[in-house]
């Protein structure tokens, strides 16, 4: 009987040690006020499989990137970045560009990178042919140039270069597009940390945990979104920055000299 009890205790201890080792979310979140994050949600592992081949560097650098702006929330994002003295990268789309010209100018003047995403962001159009993609990119480039008076060279493909949606419209299109970008001295960047804020309404806890639990040595390119509905992204942002600073990470904006972060092309 005693042997059984001892075995049972050993089993239970081992079990909790094992569970504990994978439970970084709890440990990292505990740096924040305890009542801030009551629900601990794990991200779906398949979403992490898109991790790209970011060049390995020995430091701990975070590149915050915001896709699909400018938006009603961009100024709030800029306020936070200014207060925390953190640079970031914005991959713009065309839809709200005229409404928020001053905001884009502000982002540029405050030292952030203004990159190109897509003028229409309509997959069926831009991925139908290389000409269509290039045409869309050039329209956006001209529109952005008229605001910041500089030619943007940093690009992010809608869906990233690993997207499989584009093959519905033209097989091999991403290979064509990325070859074009490389030839024409554009620099395209994917990401290796997904904040998961793209899908519907995601809580700030999920966004926070998705980012901080995946930070690592080297380049951390974080995918976030800047659209009118992404209030929880704005709420998670200062918490992510505070966590990262407290843990020895520094922030940088993407430039053409940034270590390359590319997904595997699957088209």
Nearest approach in angstroms of CB 91 to Zn ion is 7
Residues 145-164 that bind Zn ion (CB under 5 A): 158
Nearest approach in angstroms of CB 68 to Zn ion is 5
Query: How far lies 82's CA from each of 15, 195, 244, in Å?
Result: 45, 21, 16
Q: Does 176 bind Zn ion (CB under 5 A)?
A: no
Binding mask 64-103 for Zn ion (x = CB under 5 A): ---xx-----------------------------------
Distance of CA 179 to the CA centre of its chain: 23
- Terminal Cα-to-Cα distance of the chain (whole angstroms): 62
Q: Which is nearer to Zn ion, 160 or 258 (CB)?
A: 160
Nearest approach in angstroms of CB 95 to Zn ion is 11
Q: Which is nearer to Zn ion, 107 or 239 (CB)?
A: 107
Query: How far lies 200's CA from each of 88, 177, 227, 252, in Å?
Result: 23, 28, 12, 28
User: CB-based burial of residue 252 (10 Å sphere; 0-12 exposed, 13-18 middle, 19+ buried)?
Assistant: middle
- By Cβ distance, which residue is nearest to Zn ion? 67
User: How many residues in the shown chain lie near Zn ion by CB under 5 A?
Assistant: 3
Q: How many CB atoms lie within 10 A of CB 59?
A: 12
Contacts with Zn ion, residue ranges (CB under 5 A): 67-68, 158
């Amino acid at each position: 009987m005693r042997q059984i009890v001892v075995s049972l205790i050993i089993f239970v201890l081992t079990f909790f040690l094992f569970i504990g080792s994978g439970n970084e979310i709890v440990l990292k979140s505990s740096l924040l006020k305890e009542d801030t994050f009551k629900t601990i949600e794990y991200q779906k592992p398949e979403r992490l499989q898109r991790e790209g081949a970011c060049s390995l560097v020995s430091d701990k650098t975070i590149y915050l990137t915001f896709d699909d702006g400018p938006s009603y929330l961009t100024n709030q994002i800029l306020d936070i970045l200014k207060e925390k003295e953190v640079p970031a990268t914005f991959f713009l789309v065309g839809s709200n560009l005229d409404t928020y010209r001053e905001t884009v100018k502000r982002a540029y003047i405050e030292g952030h990178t203004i990159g190109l995403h897509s003028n229409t962001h309509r997959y069926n159009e831009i991925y139908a042919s290389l000409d269509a993609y290039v045409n869309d990119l050039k329209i956006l480039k001209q529109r952005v140039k008229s605001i910041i008076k500089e030619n943007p060279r940093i690009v992010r493909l809608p869906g990233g270069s690993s997207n499989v949606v584009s093959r519905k419209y033209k097989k091999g299109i991403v290979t064509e597009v990325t070859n074009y970008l490389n030839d024409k001295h554009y620099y395209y960047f994917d990401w290796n940390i997904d904040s998961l804020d793209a899908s519907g309404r995601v809580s700030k806890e999920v966004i926070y945990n998705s980012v901080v639990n995946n930070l690592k040595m080297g380049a951390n390119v974080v995918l976030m979104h800047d659209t009118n509905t992404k209030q929880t992204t704005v709420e998670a942002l200062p918490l992510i920055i505070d966590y990262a600073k407290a843990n020895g990470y520094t922030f940088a904006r993407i430039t053409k000299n940034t270590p390359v972060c590319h997904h595997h092309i699957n088209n």
